[in-house]
Amino acid sequence: MEDMVRAQFRLLDDLGIERLYASVGSSMGGMQSLAAGVLFPERRQVLMMDPNWRRGFYYDTGIPPHGGMKLAREIATVTYRSGPEWEARFGRRRADSSRPPALCPDFLIETYLDHAGEKWCLEYDPNSLLYVSKAMDLFDLGAEHRKMINALRAENAQKLEKYGEVDEDAALCSLTLPDTPYEEQEDSSAAMADSDREPAIQRNPHQPPADLIAGLQPLSSTPTLVLGVASDILFPAWQQREIAETLKRTGNRNVTHIELGEEKSLFGHDTFLLDLEGVGGAVKDFLN
């Protein structure tokens, strides 16, 4: 994620843009806005398995992992909205009630998802999906994680200068399954000697982690808007509350937290795309 932000700021350098008025991000873009504030605090004014799988090397074959991409998009699409919104749009209506039920896409919601998945997988690069997904999984602005990443970047400085070249070793991807299924394994900590055990880290679940507070210190003087949506199941509202509270714990006195309840928006994660009044109004008021 941070490498993506660095690439964005290289583009700003080439465009001759020294400072940003604001960094506005939704969904993954929200992660990038936080990362931008941590990496470049001085440059802002305001921050806000498929059968055709080839380990990414399919450009020459012309056969992308179509089936997996389509299924991934269909599953993801369900999570972009809320249950009540899907119910209101489609309910249990069938695409063609005059025909006998079939095992192929039959309900109206199924045909919608099938079309959305088919259209998307023909336009989106599977490698891009993998990198975006992995970047979100690994995103961590905690102080210890950032220290580890900075050390790794320093160790690989020469490789980073040769960006664009493919490292054959890095391209390998494998999965080794254990002899015993995960759900049947005993607690791994039970197999460790008492002397080898590390003390468990105890913290109040209602308090932000100290490591994250330390990691977000570069944002301690940055006016920040955090906006959550109660119907969002991908980036749940409690996470936005935690982000706002963490920023306040850094000493930031200019944190604005807004939460749109289900009575105001049932669009789920896609609220930032569809609710111009609730989201757009909040962003406008904050920037003004």
Known catalytic membership, residue 174? no
Q: What secondary structure letter does DSSP report for 100?
A: P
Known catalytic membership, residue 232? yes
DSSP conformation letters of 139-207? ----HHHHHHHHHHHHHTHHHHHTTT---HHHH-------SS-GGGSPPGGGGS-GGGPPPP----TTS
Q: What is the number of other CB atoms lying within 10 angstroms of the CB of residue 89?
A: 12
Distance of CA 211 to the CA centre of its chain: 20
Q: Scanning the structure block, which residue is given the tokens 């975006």?
A: 132
User: Terminus-to-terminus CA distance in the chain, angstroms?
Assistant: 29
Question: Is the separation of the CB atoms in 230 and 82 below 8 Å?
Answer: no
Q: Alpha-carbon distance 268 to 224, whole Å?
A: 22
Helix (H, G, I), strand (E, B) or coil at 22: strand
DSSP conformation letters of 236-283? -HHHHHHHHHHHHHTT-S-EEEEEE-TTT---GGGHHHH-IIIIIHHH
Q: Which of 3, 26, 27, 50 is catalytic?
A: 27
Known catalytic membership, residue 187? no
Q: Which of 33, 82, 232, 265 is catalytic?
A: 232
- Catalytic positions, please? 27, 232, 269
